[in-house]
């Protein structure tokens, strides 16, 4: 901060705080004091005898304000804003599936009763991006996944019509919004109990291959980039546990071998799965959202938090949106399957972990403490500088 010494033509020189402690600077300050009996800081004139005291008082006042600011700002920063809730309207849409397009920065939802795929903005603005009336009758869009590298959308197609059963995987170009292929998924020759397969969800690998789960059978389909469908994994591990008992499986993408991931608790009726950028796995059921992590590449895993969800609105899917935030879809699908119909309001809601929020609060207070320590060190150094300058001037 400069000390302006001389504000007229006779004496016109600017001396900084550092220069004021040198012999030449002190001499200039003394000359101004002798002639005018005052010094000025910036453009504000202060009597010589009061400069050091006034500056010290100003410094103390500033430190008090900043200290108060730290304690006011701390709780504000540590208390996160309310979770993001998106309401969107579409008569009788009943979306079961949810994904996020990071390129377009919007959500994408399917539909049980309509052969459409729709985008939903953060503000709840809905737009139909795919309309495919050529799909089989009573076809539903179930699982969805975005191929980021090729800007494609993969959609699981299932018809609940027992007279016209159909399971397939469709791929759409997100730029042209045209269908690239529709692959019919084959049935297993050893399908037990005579149950018809139900294609449910889809996951992608880095090569662009798609893997589709079968809710009514113990195998997984694979669909190549070109749309060639085959039965990929029929691991006997799938048959060791009853359906919906909450087991988690790790499946090798090369040969289809599978193993049961050892968890500290089961995930009953688990439906959708999503993976965050930090490796945390999110599993949603119609009642809970579980957060899991593993230290050995999913030989074993730990459920470190679980969050209760609104079962009446029947959540079915979870996705990771911007900034790694988890969102759950409330599509009220059981109401749609029951034939009641009439609903037009649906929700996508952000879900937060209380345990993770507590960890974030600790780090915020640590950063505030470091900032306060740095400020106190700076304050001490400035006081020393003022004392040294005053000694040399006087």
Burial class (CB in 10 A: 0-12, 13-18, 19+), 234: middle
Cα-based angle 338, 339, 345 (whole degrees, multiple of 5): 95
C-alpha distances (whole Å) from 2 to each of 11, 41, 281, 385, 392 are: 16, 7, 57, 13, 16
3 state SS of 370:
helix
H/E element holding 261? strand 258-261
* Alpha carbon distance 319, 348 (integer Å): 10
C-alpha distances (whole Å) from 168 to each of 220, 223, 224, 330 are: 13, 10, 13, 24
Q: Do residues 315 and 269 touch, judged by C-beta distance below 8 A?
A: no
- The pTM (predicted TM-score) of the whole model is 0.73
* Predicted confidence pLDDT, tens digits, the chain (394 residues): 443 333 333 334 444 444 544 555 555 545 544 544 444 433 333 344 444 444 444 444 555 555 555 555 555 444 457 899 999 999 999 999 999 999 999 999 999 989 999 999 999 999 999 999 999 888 999 999 999 999 999 999 999 877 778 999 999 999 999 999 999 999 876 555 567 899 999 999 999 999 999 988 889 999 999 999 999 999 999 989 877 789 999 999 999 999 999 999 999 999 999 999 999 999 999 999 999 999 999 999 999 999 999 999 999 999 999 999 999 999 999 998 888 778 999 999 999 998 886 655 566 667 778 888 888 888 888 887 777 777 777 6
Residue 159: which residues within 8 A CB-CB, separation 6 or more?
136, 137, 138, 139, 140, 165, 166, 167
Name the residue ranges covered by the structural domains of the chain: 2-79+359-393
User: For tokens 């997984």, what's the residue?
Assistant: 220
* Alpha carbon distance 315, 311 (integer Å): 7
Residue 294: which residues within 8 A CB-CB, separation 6 or more?
261, 279, 281, 300, 301, 302
Q: Do residues 253 and 262 touch, judged by C-beta distance below 8 A?
A: no
3 state SS of 132:
coil
Length of the chain measured in residues = 394
The predicted pLDDT at position 25 comes to 54
Q: Do residues 241 and 185 touch, judged by C-beta distance below 8 A?
A: no
Burial class (CB in 10 A: 0-12, 13-18, 19+), 111: buried
Q: Do residues 121 and 136 touch, judged by C-beta distance below 8 A?
A: no
C-alpha distances (whole Å) from 58 to each of 73, 198, 384 are: 22, 74, 15
Residue 359, number of CB atoms within 10 A of its CB = 10
């Amino acid at each position: 901060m400069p000390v302006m010494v001389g504000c007229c033509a006779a004496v016109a020189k600017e001396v900084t705080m550092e220069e004021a402690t040198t012999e030449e600077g002190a001499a200039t300050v003394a000359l101004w004091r002798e002639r005018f009996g005052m010094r000025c800081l910036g453009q504000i004139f202060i009597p010589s005898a009061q400069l050091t005291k006034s500056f010290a008082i100003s410094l103390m006042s500033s430190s008090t304000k900043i200290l108060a600011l730290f304690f006011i700002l701390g709780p504000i920063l540590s208390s996160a804003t309310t979770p993001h809730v998106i309401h969107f309207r579409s008569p009788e849409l009943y979306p079961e599936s949810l994904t996020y397009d990071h390129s377009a920065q919007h959500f994408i939802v399917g539909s049980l009763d309509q052969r459409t795929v729709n985008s939903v903005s953060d503000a709840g603005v809905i737009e139909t991006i795919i309309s495919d009336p050529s799909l089989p009758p009573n076809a539903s869009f179930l699982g969805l996944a975005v191929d980021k590298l090729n800007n494609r959308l993969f959609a699981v197609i299932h018809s609940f019509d027992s007279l016209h059963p159909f399971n397939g995987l469709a791929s759409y170009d997100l730029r042209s919004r045209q269908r690239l292929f529709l692959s019919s998924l084959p049935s297993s020759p050893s399908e037990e109990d005579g149950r018809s397969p139900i294609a449910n969800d889809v996951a992608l690998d880095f090569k662009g291959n798609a893997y589709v789960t079968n809710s009514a059978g113990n195998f997984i389909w694979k669909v190549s980039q070109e749309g060639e469908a085959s039965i990929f994994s029929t691991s006997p591990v799938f048959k060791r546990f009853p359906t919906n008992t909450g087991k988690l499986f790790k499946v090798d993408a090369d040969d289809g071998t599978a193993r049961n991931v050892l968890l500290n608790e089961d995930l009953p009726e688990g439906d959708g799965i999503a993976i965050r950028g930090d490796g945390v796995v999110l599993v949603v059921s119609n009642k809970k959202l579980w957060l899991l992590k593993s230290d050995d590449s999913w030989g074993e895993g730990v459920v470190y938090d679980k969050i209760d969800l609104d079962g009446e609105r029947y959540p079915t899917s979870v996705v990771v949106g911007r900034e790694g935030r988890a969102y759950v879809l409330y599509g009220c699908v059981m109401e749609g399957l029951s034939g009641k119909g009439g609903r037009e309001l649906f929700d996508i809601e952000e879900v937060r972990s209380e345990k993770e929020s507590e960890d974030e609060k600790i780090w915020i207070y640590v950063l505030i403490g470091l900032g306060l320590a740095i400020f106190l060190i700076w304050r001490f150094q400035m006081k020393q500088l003022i004392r040294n300058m005053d000694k040399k001037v006087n």
